C-alpha cells in the first residue's frame, strides 16, 4: 500500500467472555465460567437496553480510553463488526414472521449496525466524528484504515473498536461458530505521540508477493478455537503484539481475509 500512514498507539482494550480485560488475557487469567460484559462505559439507562455486543464494545472501548488519557468527548471513533447486531435482528425477524408479535421500536433502534457507535457516543457525550463499518474478515484492517484517514486528514485522535458477538446459531453453520470478542485501540498522530510509543502502519499484501515474504510475520498468540474463528480475530492478534512491544509485521486476519498486515515499530 503506497503512501501508508502511521499512527501512534496510546491505549489498548480487550473483552472476551473468559477475559474481562487485556491484562487478564496476557496473564492467562481465565474465568471459570463465561461472563457477560458489564458495559461499564455506558450510562445506566443506556446499559439496560444495550446488547451483549454493544456492552462488550463498551468495555473494550473504556479500557483503551482510560489507558490513553484522551478526551472521550472529542475523540473520533470507528466501530467495526462483520455482522453487527445480528442476534437482535434475528430475534426481531422471528417476532415479525414466526410469532407475528408486534416489534418494539426501541429494540429496532438497537438492531442496526451502528448501534454501538450511537450508544457509546451518547454515553461519552462525544461530539466527535463516529462511524461504523463491516468488511467480513477484513473488518479490523478496514477499521484501522478509516481511523488513519481521520487522524491525518483532521488531525484528531481516534479509537478503533472491533467486535463480534457469538455466532448466531440461526445464521452461521455450527462448524464455523465463533466466540464473543471485542478489542479496541486508541491512536494519535505521530507528532503527538508520547516518546518511545509503539507505532502502527497499515500495509497491503498483494497477490504477487512471494510466500517467502510471509515467513517473517509475527506469530499470533495461542487462543481457543472459538476465538480463532471470529471475523475480528485480527484485532486480538494486533492488541497482544502491541501490548508485548513486539516489532515487525502481523497479519490482521488468520487467512480468511485479503491479507492486510500491520507493521509495528517503536517511535523515537
**H/E run at residue 46:** helix 44-49
Long-range contacts of 219-223 (CB under 8 A, 24+ apart): 220/250, 220/251, 220/254
Cβ proximity of 218 and 191 under 8 Å: no
Q: Helix or strand or coil: residue 14?
A: strand
- Judge whether 67 lies within some domain: yes
Please tell me the predicted confidence (pLDDT) of residue 156. Answer: 96
**H/E run at residue 12:** strand 6-16
Please tell me the predicted confidence (pLDDT) of residue 203. Answer: 86
- Judge whether 158 lies within some domain: yes
- Judge whether 201 lies within some domain: no
Q: Helix or strand or coil: residue 36?
A: coil
Please tell me the predicted confidence (pLDDT) of residue 107. Answer: 63
C-alpha–C-alpha distance, residues 266 and 91, integer Å: 46
Torsion of CA 39, 111, 105, 52, to 10 degrees: -30
Note down the domain range covering 134.
8-196
- Judge whether 227 lies within some domain: no
Please tell me the predicted confidence (pLDDT) of residue 84. Answer: 78
Please tell me the predicted confidence (pLDDT) of residue 210. Answer: 40
> CB within 8 A of 183, min separation 6: which ones?
12, 13, 14, 15, 60, 140, 161, 162, 163, 232, 235, 236, 238, 239
Tracing cell 484504515 back to the chain, one arrives at: 145
Return per-residue pLDDT of the chain as tens, 268 residues. 445 689 999 999 999 999 999 999 999 999 999 999 999 899 998 898 888 999 999 999 999 999 999 999 999 999 999 987 766 666 766 666 677 677 666 665 666 767 888 899 999 999 999 999 999 999 999 999 999 999 999 999 999 999 999 877 777 777 778 899 999 999 999 999 999 999 999 987 544 444 445 668 999 999 999 999 999 999 999 999 999 999 999 999 999 899 999 999 998 7
- Judge whether 24 lies within some domain: yes
C-alpha–C-alpha distance, residues 20 and 24, integer Å: 7
CATH code, domain with 15: 3.40.47.10
Alpha carbon distances (Å) from 138 to 4, 35, 162, 186, 187:
17, 27, 11, 19, 19
- Judge whether 3 lies within some domain: no
Q: Helix or strand or coil: residue 79?
A: strand
Cβ proximity of 233 and 81 under 8 Å: no
- Judge whether 68 lies within some domain: yes
Written as one string, the DSSP assignment of 142-192 is HHHHHHHHHHHHH---EEEEEEEPSPPTTTS-GGG----EEEEEEEE-GGG
Cβ proximity of 73 and 125 under 8 Å: yes
**H/E run at residue 202:** strand 198-203
Please tell me the predicted confidence (pLDDT) of residue 217. Answer: 94
The pTM score is: 0.90
- Judge whether 156 lies within some domain: yes
- Strands 181-188 and 248-251, by their bridges, are unpaired
Please tell me the predicted confidence (pLDDT) of residue 80. Answer: 96
Question: What total of structural domains would you count in the chain?
Answer: 1
Please tell me the predicted confidence (pLDDT) of residue 178. Answer: 85
Amino acid at each position: 500500500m503506497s503512501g501508508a500512514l502511521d499512527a501512534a498507539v496510546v491505549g489498548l482494550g480487550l473483552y472476551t467472555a473468559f477475559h474481562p480485560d487485556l491484562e487478564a488475557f496476557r496473564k492467562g487469567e481465565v474465568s471459570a465460567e463465561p461472563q457477560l460484559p458489564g458495559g461499564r462505559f455506558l450510562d445506566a439507562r443506556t446499559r439496560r437496553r444495550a446488547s451483549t455486543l454493544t456492552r462488550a464494545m463498551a468495555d473494550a472501548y473504556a479500557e483503551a480510553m482510560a489507558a490513553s488519557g484522551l478526551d472521550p468527548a472529542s475523540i473520533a471513533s470507528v466501530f467495526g463488526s462483520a455482522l453487527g447486531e445480528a442476534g437482535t435482528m434475528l430475534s426481531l425477524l422471528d417476532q415479525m414472521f414466526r410469532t407475528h408479535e408486534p416489534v418494539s421500536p426501541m429494540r429496532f433502534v438497537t438492531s442496526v449496525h451502528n448501534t454501538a457507535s450511537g450508544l457509546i457516543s451518547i454515553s461519552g457525550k462525544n461530539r466527535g466524528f463516529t462511524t461504523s463499518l463491516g468488511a467480513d474478515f477484513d473488518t479490523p484492517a478496514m477499521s484501522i484504515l478509516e481511523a488513519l484517514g481521520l487522524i491525518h486528514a483532521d488531525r484528531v485522535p481516534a479509537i478503533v473498536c472491533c467486535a463480534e458477538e457469538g455466532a448466531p446459531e440461526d445464521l452461521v453453520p455450527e462448524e464455523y461458530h465463533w466466540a464473543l470478542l471485542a478489542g479496541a485501540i486508541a491512536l494519535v498522530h505521530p507528532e503527538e505521540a508520547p516518546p518511545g510509543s509503539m507505532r502502527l502502519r497499515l500495509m497491503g499484501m498483494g497477490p504477487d508477493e512471494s510466500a517467502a515474504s510471509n515467513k517473517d510475520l509475527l506469530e499470533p498468540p495461542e487462543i481457543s478455537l472459538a476465538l480463532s474463528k471470529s471475523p475480528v480475530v485480527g484485532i486480538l492478534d494486533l492488541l497482544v503484539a502491541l501490548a508485548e512491544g513486539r516489532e515487525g509485521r502481523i497479519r490482521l486476519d488468520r487467512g480468511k481475509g485479503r491479507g492486510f498486515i500491520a507493521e509495528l515499530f517503536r517511535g523515537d
